[in-house]
């Protein structure tokens, strides 16, 4: 920056502002944060992680985008103790599937026992010792075929589960925004007044509308500084919805953190200037 000043003769002053990026008050219609600094001509440029949105472009100008980003989910890695062996064995099938499988095996075993008992009464002693009744052989064959099918599906599900839902030995409780919206144990939120905040507030997609409703029920779900969101994630039972560059930075700096699922949208960072 000093080299630019020397070569161009441009005089500038850099101020570090600890405030929101900028959002419009729905009641008063006035802007707050860094966008307000530009509108009220207290700043000429805003440089940082400022997202280009249609609403902001109505009151300020943006340069060409310098980074493509999206919204991701930051979560703390589950405790290794929660990934016990029996959970790994049972999780590939739902509780209903395990119940139906056990019931099927039990019903088949009872059927074989009854058929053996009934047919044994109709055969003489020699025949009973040298030949198994056809109905019993058929029942046993069906049981073997059913067992083979269950083993094949279980093996395939277990392999898919271990590759998709496990990271560094940890079983993930949340794998997408949809998973997050369907549970209440883990709270989630975002940076108050930022582009992520506006994205959920104005979204017409049912899942994101549901997530906004859940976040808006408690004002403590929102944070006024991005670092506060990361700290809450580290405390546990909280997921932070944040823009991908900051998310990747946090994950790379702390091995206790991870990103789950893909990006929820696509947008850009740009440098904001006064209009005109």
Token digits for 75?
Answer: 């979560």
* Nearest of 46, 16, 28 to residue 275 by alpha carbon: 46
- Torsion angle (degrees, nearest 10) of CA 230, 234, 237, 243: 20
Give the span between the Cα atoms of 21 and 92, in whole angstroms: 44
Q: Would you state the pLDDT for residue 101?
A: 85
Cβ 205 vs Cβ 258: under 8 Å: no
What confidence score (pLDDT) does residue 167 get? Answer: 47
pLDDT in tens, 184-242: 889 999 998 888 998 999 899 999 999 999 999 999 999 988 899 999 999 989 999 99
Which residues are within 8 A (CB) of 126 and not within 5 positions of it... i.e. 6 or more apart?
none
Residues of the chain with pLDDT under 70: 1, 79-89, 91, 119-133, 135-136, 160-173
**Partner residues linked to 191 by β-bridges:** 223
What backbone phi and psi angles, to 5 degrees, belong to 176? -165, 170
Burial of 207 (0-12, 13-18, 19+ CB in 10 A): middle
Q: What is the DSSP letter of 270?
A: -
Q: Give the separation between CA 46 and CA 49, rounded to whole angstroms.
A: 9
* pLDDT tens string 86-95: 556 676 777 7
Alpha helices, DSSP H only, in the chain?
A: 2-8, 34-39, 54-57, 85-90, 95-120, 125-130, 134-164, 177-181, 195-202, 206-216, 226-235, 244-253
Res 169: pLDDT: 47
**pTM, two decimal places:** 0.56
Q: Which of 8, 3, 22, 44 is nearest to 195 (CA)?
A: 22
pLDDT at residue 165, as a whole number: 47
């Amino acid at each position: 920056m000093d080299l630019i000043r020397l070569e161009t003769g441009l005089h500038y002053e850099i101020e570090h502002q600890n405030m929101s990026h900028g959002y419009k008050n729905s009641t008063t219609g006035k802007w707050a944060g860094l966008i307000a600094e530009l509108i009220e001509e207290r700043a000429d440029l805003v440089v940082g992680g400022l997202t280009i949105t249609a609403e902001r472009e109505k009151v300020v100008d943006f340069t060409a985008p310098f980074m493509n980003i999206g919204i991701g989910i930051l979560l703390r890695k589950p405790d290794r103790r929660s990934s016990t062996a029996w959970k790994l064995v049972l999780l590939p099938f739902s509780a209903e599937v395990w119940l139906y499988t056990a019931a099927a095996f039990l019903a088949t075993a009872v059927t074989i026992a009854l058929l053996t008992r009934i047919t044994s009464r109709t055969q003489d002693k020699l025949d009973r010792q040298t030949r198994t009744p056809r109905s019993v052989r058929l029942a046993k064959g069906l049981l073997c075929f059913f067992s083979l099918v269950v083993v094949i599906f279980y093996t395939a599900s277990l392999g898919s589960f271990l590759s998709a839902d496990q990271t560094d030995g940890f079983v993930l409780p949340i794998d997408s925004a949809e998973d997050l919206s369907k549970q209440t144990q883990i709270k989630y939120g975002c940076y108050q007044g930022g582009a992520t905040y506006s994205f959920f507030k104005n979204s017409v997609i049912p899942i994101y509308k549901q997530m906004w409703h859940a976040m808006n029920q408690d004002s403590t779900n929102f944070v006024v500084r991005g670092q506060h969101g990361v700290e809450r994630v580290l405390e546990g039972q909280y997921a932070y919805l944040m823009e991908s560059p900051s998310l990747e930075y946090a994950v790379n700096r702390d091995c206790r953190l991870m990103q789950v699922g893909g990006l929820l949208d696509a947008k850009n960072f740009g440098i904001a200037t006064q209009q005109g």
